[in-house]
Structure 1
């Protein structure tokens, strides 16, 4: 039976520590020594640096304050557009110090969605940014959480000891906690051997949904401390962050490198990789409040950013602007693109911009608690989802149930120490996705002769065109390569011949969008240009039926494209795939 795995050995993964204990104090063989000059966190807007000693102080103070004032069991974190995001990991670690649970959420969540998540997770408190005060308080009321248990981010500085702290704010609680005797709390309880495998660290939104088509809600995944620790060790081992495997200049990730965080921390990519892998690897994390291309470019220059971790639309946008004349990006050493495929022509354009940089992709999911595969350190450039990280065993199952060999398509199944515990309060969905230790990803892939994963698409989103299979992700990656496209989603529609065909919904870059205002002729020209772009690069059965210009691509809380919403909004009949 063909099974695929990494050729690297996975070192020991501790299962008797919380994530906070592992990140802030555990000495692991895969972990490099952090240079003395390298702070842990930097606030992008202010330049404020936070080193380990201050992090530990803040974690202790906040954990003490939460424990003493609230008796915290489960925490729910939400945020707003102007959040001091560098406080986000500190809140996570303080909650984990108490062995309590964090349930991150998207700042664009609605009151109904937040209320549902609060009820699902049985949250006892909320930490929110003042930008979403009304949302947080309204949802808390609906979920039966008293207003006194809604805590807000405030000033980024600990409050002065000469006045009573405001216990409705994170900083006030931190100051209050530091004024107490912290001896009893200390570093938190050391878990029993094996306890980290079952103790829940996060209750995170999955890409899976449940409910009727027009009222679907995201399912919550239970993720253990061990799962996140395992994925950090897996990725660190795969990337050889503590090995002198080549010259210092050519190593992909190096202690003292500076990574710019522009991805949301509520998503598993931001949570497991951007926060925890980056900090474990001895890098500094410069935290931006949100993604803005111009702000990102300024930050790259200001902080000498050497590491970028991005989404494909962000990479495509980076390649479309004439930025080389205005910003010196020569210090960018490595760019990782994840969460969706990156088109080869976009990769090539990025390489031409940054010829010395390491550029590649990774594949993963919330169910796997992060990365499953990533481009190898044996190559500087990666054009697909890369090789399995250590500790993962994979199978590809064909439609007839047989196991696929190299280059045969089928559903990807994986076994990994980082696997999630299952879906919260949903035994049926858990039993469908997690079978005898195997995660059924729902993704169609092939694995080539180099043991690299080639991602095709979600099995339930494949479009059948005249008997051929068309992957929306393949077309989306291609369309993102068009110079005027900022974001895109492809769905199936019924055509006049009784079959199905792909239709693209496109968000244009700002300049192109402005040029279309009141100009039908230019709109037609741009639509035709996008269709020609696809026609020149894809087979005849993959040609677009049409292009619709929209202001925004609807996505769920985990970033998954809501294709049904696009169909419903424009009154397009749903095609049978």
Structure 2
């Protein structure tokens, strides 16, 4: 036995054409159908309007000398125009790089130095970075993405007006033909929760493979015509959902940023059937005092990705939706274009992320590279057509992440006899207490189940004798009183002794998070080094 888990074969053929061609054809087909609706502003854009903007921008870029493999960067909040530069870039064979608009100046410049773009489309809020570092950006073309009139800078519309060839015949426009296997479509940053992010290369074929799986009935109910897109558009999770939705001809209901009340109102108003969320949203819904005021009976499928949910929170979440047909957790990472493991339709195993998706392979290895069998815990390695080509302009990191074609994920897990995969934690996040491996997610799930706890995070704090001590950070529910001893006892009654909160509990106003809701454990761990 090779101790490798293989996903099933693909049900449908993946077309070997560029994403630009697939998007162009579908946008043209859907014509006057509404593509994006921003529930934050009620702004709408049709497929036809989006397509015209995209190929006018592509032609404007071409007239300015931009060409295949040139890098453009997008950094701004979610909007109906956010993906216009992305699609225009795909039409030309350019590479789109994404930067979180909430990054600090140092974080922004770190990715900028990796991407080395020729042109950037940014929120007007980011202009200070470019003004302060003016000498660094002398040859860079800067376009304001949010259409705010800023003296000395073009907006999307004024850039097109100045550079679009008025004699160009729209009927003759065709996206550039590229090799989808090799051509980089996007460079997007890894989460950066354990340090400065790296730039992950994602090809046209990586995305096409993922689109195929999103609409495979074995891992999706594949019926939604309306997609509710609330995740940051720069993040690979939001990116894949939106690009897939356009290719499928779906309508996209979007929000600039998550707002609990508006989120629940939108589910009810637009009769949403499918939700894709991250754990922080799951915790918000489970603890929500207003959830009961809204009709969520149309929800049939719920997918939670990014990080693992505890069994307790999973059970509480599922109970909220009376007509839920399928709840799925999944496991994936930016380097694998998201989902590598998903719960299949009609299957359920509490605590598991599911089974390996079609066309991919997975194995578990110990620290020496030996493949492990069922119920043996080790590092997760993956292989397949969704795996990145590597890290952009970082051959050393690429070399260190791949061994014999297998991507080392840095994640810790195991599988059972039926092929269900269980994600324990990030290898760097697992707490080592007296030689025992302690998963912080398991303890967090217990803390979250306490009615007076709004949010929680558990990290390992250094200890000379034990190595690390499980330590909790807790956000209380509003207007309640709960003590450290009360919560420590609550956990101790529900978990084995090696997992008790021997490092104590610290009450905080909020937990540091990335833009996609991942808790920055490193920030909490590092706080002990500052004491």
Question: How far 1:239 moved relative to its partner?
Answer: 4.4
Question: How far 1:450 moved relative to its partner?
Answer: 2.6
Residue number among 419, 429, 447 corresponding to 1:479 in the alignment:
447
Question: How far 1:564 moved relative to its partner?
Answer: 3.4
- Comparing 394-403 with 335-344, which one deviates more in the overlay? 394-403
Distance (whole Å) between structure 1 residues aligned to residue 217 and residue 102 of structure 2: 34
Residue number among 492, 500, 508 corresponding to 2:468 in the alignment:
500
1:546 matched residue in structure 2: 504
Question: How far 1:136 moved relative to its partner?
Answer: 4.4
Task: Give aligned pairs, total.
Answer: 523
Question: How far 1:419 moved relative to its partner?
Answer: 0.9
Residue number among 307, 310, 328 corresponding to 2:274 in the alignment:
307
Q: Label 1:446 to 1:369 Cα distance change in 2 as closer, same or farther (>3 A).
A: same
Question: How far 1:198 moved relative to its partner?
Answer: 1.9
1:244 matched residue in structure 2: none
Distance (whole Å) between structure 2 residues aligned to residue 439 and residue 384 of structure 1: 21
Is 1:201 aligned to 2:185, yes or no? yes
Question: How far 1:181 moved relative to its partner?
Answer: 3.6
- Comparing 374-383 with 51-60, which one deviates more in the overlay? 374-383
Residue number among 132, 137, 148 corresponding to 1:144 in the alignment:
137
Q: Give secondary structure in 2 for the equivalent of 1:422.
A: coil
Q: Label 1:52 to 1:381 Cα distance change in 2 as closer, same or farther (>3 A).
A: farther
Q: Which runs of 5+ in 1 are unaligned?
A: 28-33, 160-164, 211-215, 242-251, 516-521
- Comparing 388-397 with 467-476, which one deviates more in the overlay? 467-476
Residue number among 62, 65, 76 corresponding to 2:57 in the alignment:
62
Residue number among 101, 104, 111 corresponding to 1:107 in the alignment:
101
Q: Label 1:138 to 1:567 Cα distance change in 2 as closer, same or farther (>3 A).
A: same
Post-superposition CA distance 1:496-552 (Å, at most 9, x none): 74442111223345x25xx5xxxxxx3xx2434443443233222111121222334
Distance (whole Å) between structure 2 residues aligned to residue 275 and residue 374 of structure 1: 19
TM-score, normalising length from structure 1?
A: 0.82
2:8 matched residue in structure 1: 7
Q: Give secondary structure in 2 for the equivalent of 1:196.
A: coil
The within-5 A match list for 1:120-199 is: 120-139=114-133, 141=134, 143-146=136-139, 149-155=141-147, 168-175=154-161, 180-183=166-169, 186-191=173-178, 195-199=179-183
Which stretches of structure 1, 4 residues or more, deviate above 6 A after TM superposition? 34-38
Is 1:254 aligned to 2:223, yes or no? yes
Q: Which runs of 5+ in 2 are unaligned?
A: none
Distance (whole Å) between structure 2 residues aligned to residue 339 and residue 333 of structure 1: 20
Is 1:230 aligned to 2:209, yes or no? yes
Does the 8 Å contact 2:20/2:176 carry over to 1?
Answer: no
Distance (whole Å) between structure 2 residues aligned to residue 531 and residue 24 of structure 1: 57
Q: Give secondary structure in 2 for the equivalent of 1:55.
A: helix
Q: Give secondary structure in 1 for the equivalent of 2:176.
A: coil
The within-5 A match list for 1:256-335 is: 256=225, 258-272=226-240, 274-335=241-302
The within-5 A match list for 1:509-528 is: 509=477, 511-512=478-479, 522=481, 525-528=482-485
Distance (whole Å) between structure 1 residues aligned to residue 22 and residue 408 of structure 2: 29
Q: Label 1:84 to 1:495 Cα distance change in 2 as closer, same or farther (>3 A).
A: closer
Does the 8 Å contact 2:122/2:146 carry over to 1?
Answer: no
Q: Label 1:418 to 1:171 Cα distance change in 2 as closer, same or farther (>3 A).
A: same
Question: How far 1:277 moved relative to its partner?
Answer: 2.9
Does the 8 Å contact 2:98/2:234 carry over to 1?
Answer: yes
The within-5 A match list for 1:12-51 is: 12-17=13-18, 19-25=19-25, 39-51=34-46
Residue number among 70, 74, 82 corresponding to 2:71 in the alignment:
74
Distance (whole Å) between structure 2 residues aligned to residue 499 and residue 418 of structure 1: 38
Question: How far 1:394 moved relative to its partner?
Answer: 1.2
TM-score, normalising length from structure 2?
A: 0.89
